[in-house]
Amino acid sequence: MLQESTSDRDFTQLKSRNETLIFFRFIAGIILLFTSALFYFVDLGYSSFPIFFVGICVICYNSIFFVLNKNTTNTSRFSQFTFFQVFLDWLSLFFVAMFTGFVSSPSLFLFPLYAGMSGIMLSKKMTFYLTSIAIVLILLLGLLSIRATLPTLKDSVIIIGSSFFYGLVLVCASLLGLWASKELRERLEIAIILKEQFYKENDRLNTIYNVALSVNSQLEVYKVLRHLSDSLASISPVSACVIRLISDDRKTVSVLEASGVSAEYGKSHTVNLADDRIDVECLKAKLPIFVPNVLKDPRFLYKNEAKVEGLISMLAVPIIHLDEVLGVIRCYTKSYYEFTNDDVEFVALIASQAALSIVNAKAYEKVVELDKSRTSFIRVVTHELRAPMAAVQSILQIVLDGYTGEVSEKQRSLFERANDRVTGLLRLVSELLEFEGASAKDRDFEEIDLRKIMTDVVFELAPKADVKHIRIKFIPSGDNLKLIGWKDGIHRVFENFVDNAIKYTKPNGSVSVNMHFENGHVITNIIDNGIGIPKESIPRLFTEFYRAQNAKQEEVQGTGLGLAISKKIISIHNGDISVNSVLGSGTTFTILLPTGTNFF
Amino acid sequence: MKKILIIDDDTDMVEAMKIALESVGYNVNSAPNGTLGLQELLNVKPDLVILDVMMETDTEGFNVAWAIRSDDENSKYTAFKNIPILMITAVGQEKKMKFDPKKDQDFLPVNDFVEKPVRPADLIAKVAKYLG
């Protein structure tokens, strides 16, 4: 992976260098054309045509290179291609010098300049070849210069001397170029390493953030650990991650989650803690353990399996919460890797998140269990309570109905009082049972018509209202008063509120119910002009067994469970309930039930 | 004289029903659980059975009813396959539901329900409906 990216980088670098070369070469070609024009119009002792010709040649071959450079994708050809370009440039330079006075040509300074440039741009090997060619060309220029001018011996020595001098300058320029390019490369590499490091740290920060997020938002430990092991396994150089949990009795350790390995390797299983020396050491020392090569470490249990998976180095980090080791996170790499302190710190941070999640989940499980046992306890107790009370009532009824002989008025009144008390108790037990039942999840949900249910409720309770001369009206509006819900539950809720409204309204008062659809909710208002609810009682109104002081004073029968049951049923429907009350003048209960909830 | 078998583990409940039913001239026998109840069924050969839903287990009453109503030709209780069964239950009260024997008979093999606590007049009326 790393290698591939390096050659990719080289490729783009070569390509952009070629582009620079080609750009400057176009300028050089144009300058040559201008120079030839200058020579044509101003007599400087040089002939114009050869320069013009070289300029045209440069522009021509440069155009070809321009096209080639754009279309080449093959890396190996690229270096040959660059070599060829520079070679042609040397030739052009050679001709320019040849036509402008050989060794004494003013263009000669271009030789070391170009040598320095190619030293920066090309590889060491290529610079060596091209510089050699350039030196040969300069020497050739010297020789040609001698031949063309047929100078004196002294002049020849000067010519040869200056050729050597230029050759030397050329070599120096190339070396300078190479050195500069090496420096540049090194800095570039440092920059690249820093960039990679930055990305790595960024990845890690992201991982920590996401893991923290999932720990805070998830109570299901499996989901969190899954996320955690996936995250770890995706962070270079780690390629696999296994999370092992130590049992509460510290006798066994089980593989809970695994990422980056085959299903076979990662399948959950449990082993004796004592058998796994790495876990034991982790547990004892509470410190991370680094295993350079799992295949060679005698403490590592799964050598054959690890061989198949290609796992080499391993870092085992204990999951610690409040000084207690809950498990171990194992990170594997698929090539030899020396985990750094940074790596260890990072995995330890993730491990601490894992610890939190495990502790949270355990606490949650306990709460759920407690809730379950509380529910079943209440069920058993209420059944046990109800059976004898039902028997008592049945027996009282037998006596009251005269099946055991004549009952005197006094006896009847006493038996009736006893019967009433038992009836009250029985209602309490029923409501308790219902309250627990209201939280059960497995209900029958069906399409229900709230208008019909409320109509039934009002009809059922009308006789009760009549007794107190309370006028009761139901005003539904619109048709969209249906939703998917629990019919008996909603019936119970409506009955509860309307019944309460009647109960807490003084004789000759009125109760009105209206119902309409608004913003995806069926909104039901139950309005009475009864005794009202004291402000301080409102927050506790929906609490089990709570009854407002004035409600108790009214001596109206009630168990304090009705509203709590209603609230539970409404919350099963994802609904909401609110209350608005003025003491002494009346109360409005508003029930919001969303129509969009799908329970299937 | 028509015979009635009450299968219920609550002796006080049995006693109350017994007083009511005997007062109008029925011969009442009883059994405290499902197993003994089925034995008594064969011994007493009643004309009607009153069953408690919940005895030792939540479904014992139903199991007894299903045993009596069994379609198996080799069943010991074939002779009683169509005997009227009244089920005593507090379920209706708990769930605020009103049993409809016609509808519920599709899944519960009983003829009618008697609500707990028992009102003697109701009980007698329901028994009379099946025994005449």
Within 8 A by CB and 6+ apart from A313, the residues are A290, A291, A292, A293, A294, A332, A333, A335, A336, A337, A338, A339
Architecture of domain A446-594: 2-Layer Sandwich (3.30)
Interatomic CA distance for residues A348 and A287, integer angstroms: 9
Q: What is the mean pLDDT of each run of 10 residues along chain A (600 residues)?
A: 48 76 89 88 83 90 86 72 84 85 78 81 81 85 77 77 83 86 87 87 82 72 81 83 87 85 82 85 87 88 86 90 88 88 86 84 82 76 79 91 90 89 80 68 77 91 90 87 86 90 89 91 92 83 73 66 85 89 89 74
Strand partners, A246: A253
Is pLDDT above 70 for B91?
no
pLDDT at A299: 87
Residue extents of the structural domains in chain A: 2-192, 218-366, 378-437, 446-594
- Tokens coding A353: 């998140």
Which residues of chain B neighbour A404 with C-beta distances below 8 Å?
A: 19
pLDDT band with cut points at 50, 70 and 90 for residue B39: very high
Q: How many CB atoms lie within 10 A of CB A237?
A: 14
Q: Find all residues with CB under 8 Å of A398, minimum gap 6, and list them.
A: A404, B16, B19, B20, B120
Domain B3-131 has CATH 2.40.170.20: no
Question: Residue A318: CB partners within 8 Å, gap ≥ 6?
Answer: A282, A283, A286, A287, A288, A325, A327, A328, A351
Query: What local confidence, expressed as pLDDT, does residue A4 receive?
Result: 40
pLDDT beyond 90 at B47: yes
Classify domain A218-366 at the CATH topology level. Beta-Lactamase (3.30.450)
Peptide bond into B117 cis (omega under 30): yes
How many angstroms separate the CA atoms of A599 and A584, rounded? 41
Q: Give me the pLDDT at residue B84, please.
A: 92
Identify from A398, A426, A429, A487 which residue to disrupt to test chain B contact, counting B C-beta atoms within 10 A and taking the largest count.
A398
Q: What is the reported pLDDT for B97? A: 47
**pLDDT number for residue B17:** 93
Q: Identify from A384, A399, A403 which residue to disrupt to test chain B contact, counting B C-beta atoms within 10 A and taking the largest count.
A: A403
User: Percent helix, strand, coil in chain B (nearest 5)?
Assistant: 40, 20, 40
3-state secondary structure of B88: strand
Residue B64: name the closest of A492, B46, A571 by CA. Answer: B46
B105 touches chain A (CB under 8 A): no
CA distance B100 to chain A (A): 15
A–B: how many Cβ contacts below 8 A?
A: 61
* Per-domain residue ranges of chain B: 3-131
Amino acid at A185: R
Q: Name residue A320's amino acid.
A: I
What whole-number distance in Å separates Cα of residue A85 and Cα of residue A545?
95
Q: By the 8 A CB rule, do B88 and B63 touch?
A: no
In the three-class reduction of DSSP (H, G, I as helix; E, B as strand; rest coil), residue A234 is classed as: coil
* pTM greater than 0.80: no
CB A480 within 8 A of CB A518: no
Q: Which of B55, B30, B53, B52 is nearest to B43 (CA)?
A: B30
Any B CB within 8 A of A380 CB: no
* pLDDT for residue A597: 60
What distance lies between CA A409 and its chain's CA centroid?
Answer: 78
Residues in Cβ contact with B22 at an 8 Å cutoff, skipping those fewer than 6 apart = B28
Q: What are phi and psi of A8, to 5 degrees?
A: -60, -45
- Alpha-carbon distance of B26 to B19, in angstroms, equals 10
Q: What is the DSSP secondary structure assignment for residue A446, as one 8-state letter?
A: E
